[in-house]
Amino acid sequence: MRVSCNVFIILILFAVPLFAQQDDGVICWWKFDDIKSINEMTDEEEEDEAEFGTIESISGEKFAIHGLANPVPGVKGQAVKFDGFSSYIEGTPRKWIGRRGDEEEDDEGFQRPRDISIEAWVSLGAYPWNWAPILTIGKYKVTGFYFGVDSRGRVGFHVSDATSVWHECNSKLLPGKKWSMDLNKWYHVVGTYSPEDGLAIYVNGELHNIYNDFEFDYGIAYSDLRKGFRMGMNREMLPPTDPIRDWATYPSRYTLDGIVDELKIHGKSLTASEIKSIYNSVKPENPPEFQPRKFPKVSSSGRFSANYTRLKFYPEWDSIWPVGDFMDVVVQFDEIPINVMFWRGTRYSSCWVSENGKWMADQSRETGNNWFLSQGPREEMPTGCIEHMSDTQCRSSRVAIIENNDARKVVNWRYLQMDVKFRQKDLPNNTGFGEWGNEVYYIYPDGVGVRKVLPGRGGWQETILLNEPGTRPEDNIELEACTLLNMKGESKSYTWEHGYPVFDLPEANIQYVHFKSEYKPFLIFREGGGFDVFNLEVRPEYSHFPWWNHWPVAQIVSDGRSAFAPDRTAHSSLSWGDPNGEAALYGMTNKDPKTLVALARSWNYPAELKLDDSGWKSEGYDYTQRAYVLETTANPNSLVFILQATKESPVVNPAFVLQKWSIGNLALEVDGKSVLEGKDFRYGVEFNIEGNPVVVVWIKYKSEKPVKIVIKSNKMS
């Protein structure tokens, strides 16, 4: 049925429809009791998607179901659930285009309803990105009618009357709220139209709004009838509402994210009393069926581990991803109940996750291109933010586990900096490769990791918290959102209660974030680095913090969209920083933030390592690994050294990378005391591409005084 046809406007001038209808005026009725689950489709049905459908019960005609729609329990029997991404229903009742199937030449006496009402039961899982249809026919905002839901959850009935005017009647917002329908609840919605009375919208039997600003009583003008009815998805893509930058927001593919049941077209304009009676006559048999939209979780392994896995969010989102079981990476710890998640939902940017599921993320390298400052149209060049967030399908973003031993985990993340249309800037050297980011994460058993960012273009640090669906920023973070500290041990806390603050603690390079959790995120820069408050795009009527939902998880084509409700996964930024180097320390702790000063000093001012063994040479402290690097010169049986720790250069859980040392089992002595291999002494062996061993040792030990360390190998001489 997808053939092009000329637009032909048909004016409806007759009062009584001649085609079949029930006594109550119902001329179309979709019960959705006959549809199958996607998982129940046969091979033939998968090959011919049109075979997967539902019957319109008055005419007996079949309507094709496209995409990942599924049956769920409805108010009566079964309903259809649209997934929010791919699914829609489409079909053409022959009577609406004439018996000959030719809309240019109607059969004599054929009439479409002059007065009309559309009725359905609806429940939303999230508010649409813009208008999404429950049922529509014709050209959007040109001909026909549109019965749907908008980005505020308003129900609307819109029509064209052949005067080049699109008439709209929409339900009102709920008292004290920013939306018209709550999520996960059944609503009975009705739109009515007659040339005499105009448009009206009813919700749960109550009149919500009327509209009658019609200059003429032509009735509804139709065209494109051979394309038929459409449910769930617009025929023309619309841009998301509430954009931060109109010029970096584009028409996007999306569908209704919700359930529809008992969809009917009445061949008359129902009265208020009739609508009330219809509503009261139905008591929903089942609650709306939506799986919880909770961030991915993993059961504790009880080990310090790094694993490939496939993290799950909720069924509809999971189903759109054509991936296997090894697409995401999770690092777990054996002594602290936190995780580090590298998830495709965040385009693989690392997230530190607390014991109660609060997520702290960060930026990638980011540049941008404000097309209006350049020559040429925006369609011909990368536009807006150029970063990892734009890679909605993870076309280039990849993670890999590089090291996985008892002493540390190393994860590599590589990504193309792109705009929201997957375009790249041919910089810096016109090779055609564009701007890329590459980062390496060295993660240790104490829940501290080093983020090493390889040379590239653009800043890369922005303190970002994620908001699970159903939560606002204020549900995840205190209004006194962060404490800053400096290397002197001075500290100051800052609140967003009365607007965003100004960071004024001198030389602050340590940030502690007040999550509503036991374990709270922290970030440490090199001395000389610092933080500034993210003071843009705050809308105080919605949140104390910036609040956007174009990232993570979302598939819309926009580099910025303000959130107004906690219906979707969202993010908020607290600050952006200058790390003053190519690495920063990340982690989570349940200790007082002042304990971070010693960690910061141990990393910024590492204790001098004094070798007491002629078989080794020191390559110094590599802050990008948080480790001392040494190499054997004679492959000895032991390594003996002193760390010259002081209060200003303390030892805090040191790590050592020992190159070219062939070992058996290792034994450790600290100041003459044996330390057994286990939680306080861990090591692992990696082999480089040349086949040389690299031994990584981690010791759980803190000191502000010099300490002698002896590492012995029982290998054969």
Look at residue 98 in the predicted model and tell me its pLDDT. 60
Q: How far is CA 427 from CA 384, 391, 643, in A?
A: 16, 18, 45
> What are the backbone dihedrals phi and psi of residue 475, each rounded to the nearest 5 degrees, phi first?
-80, -20
Averaged pLDDT for residues 231-242: 97
Tens of pLDDT, residue by residue over 405-420, are 999 999 999 999 999 9
Do 357 and 327 fall into the same domain? yes
Q: 562 is in which domain, residue-wise?
A: 305-599
pLDDT band at 44 (very low <50, low <70, confident <90, very high): low
Q: What's the first-to-final CA gap in the chain, in angstroms?
A: 82
Q: What is the tens place of the pLDDT at every residue in 46-78?
A: 555 546 799 999 989 999 999 999 999 999 999
- pLDDT tens, residue by residue, 555-573: 999 999 999 999 999 999 9
pLDDT at position 45 over 90: no
Residue 267 and residue 379 in one domain: no
Do 393 and 269 share a domain, yes or no? no
Residue 692 located in a structural domain: yes
Output the pLDDT for position 102.
44
How would you write 342-392 as a 3-class SS string? ECHHHCCCEEEECCCCCEEECCCCEEEECHHHCCCCHHHCCCEEEEHHHCC
Residue 291 lies inside a defined structural domain of this protein: no
pLDDT of residue 3: 32
CATH number at residue 66: 2.60.120.200
Do residues 494 and 613 both lie within one domain? Answer: no
pLDDT per residue as tens digits for the range 263-316: 999 999 999 999 999 999 999 999 999 999 999 999 999 999 999 999 999 999
Query: Is residue 268 situated within a structural domain?
Result: yes
Q: Please name which of 74, 10, 34 lies closest in space to residue 261, comparing C-alpha atoms.
A: 74
Token couple for 62: 């079949």
pLDDT at residue 96 above 80? no
- Percent of the chain topping pLDDT 90: 83
Q: What is the CATH number of the domain that holds 372?
A: 2.70.98
pLDDT at 593: 98
- Shared domain check, 609 and 588: no
Q: Record the tokens describing residue 291, joined without a space.
A: 């799986």
Residue whose pair of structure tokens reads 């296997």 in the numeric block: 324
Task: Give the residue among 228, 188, 174 at the shortest CA–CA distance from 2.
Answer: 228
According to DSSP, the residues that pair with 361 across neighbouring strands are 464
Q: Is the predicted pLDDT of residue 455 greater than 90, yes or no?
A: yes
pLDDT tens for 195-212 read: 999 999 999 999 999 999
Same domain, 411 and 430: yes
- What whole-number distance in Å separates Cα of residue 389 and Cα of residue 366? 9
Lowest mean pLDDT among 50-54, 191-195, 674-678: 50-54
The tokens describing 278, both together, are 């219809």
Of 599, 614, 629, which residue sits at a domain end? 599
Q: Model confidence over 354-401: pLDDT tens digits?
A: 999 999 999 999 999 987 777 778 888 899 999 999 999 999 999 999
Task: Average the pLDDT over 684-703 and give the result.
Answer: 96
> What is the distance of C-alpha 304 from the center of its chain?
27
At 665, list the tokens.
């089992």
Residue 380 resides in a domain: yes
- Residue 429 has a pLDDT of 81
Write the CB contacts of 676 (distance below 8 Å, at least 6 apart in sequence): none
Which CATH number goes with the domain that contains 610?
A: 2.60.40
Q: Are residues 452 and 588 in the same domain?
A: yes
Average pLDDT over residues 315-336: 97
Look-up of token digits 């936190």: 338
* Cα–Cα distance measured from residue 677 to residue 656, given in angstroms and rounded to the nearest whole number: 15
Q: Give this prediction's pTM.
A: 0.92
Q: What pLDDT, in 10s, does the model give residues 499-510?
A: 999 999 999 999
- pLDDT range class, residue 41, cuts 50, 70, 90: low
pLDDT value, residue 625:
98
- Chain centroid to Cα 623, Å, comes to 32
CA 717 from centre of chain = 56
Considering the domain architecture, whether residues 328 and 274 belong to the same structural domain is answered as: no
In a domain, 576, yes or no: yes
Residue 290: inside a domain:
no
Same domain, 588 and 620: no
Residues 107 and 210 in one domain: yes
Backbone phi and psi for residue 436, each to the nearest 5 degrees, phi listed first = -120, 150
Judge if 78 and 142 occupy the same domain: yes
Residue 18 lies in a domain: no
Q: Give the pLDDT confidence score for residue 42 in this predicted structure.
A: 55
Q: If you average pLDDT over residues 575-603, what whole number do you get?
A: 98
Per the structure, the count of domains in the chain is 3
Q: Is residue 594 domain-shared with residue 452, that is, in the same domain? A: yes
Q: Which of 8-17, 336-345, 396-405, 558-567 has the lowest mean pLDDT?
A: 8-17
The tokens describing 365, both together, are: 């390298």
Please report whether residue 674 resides in a domain. yes
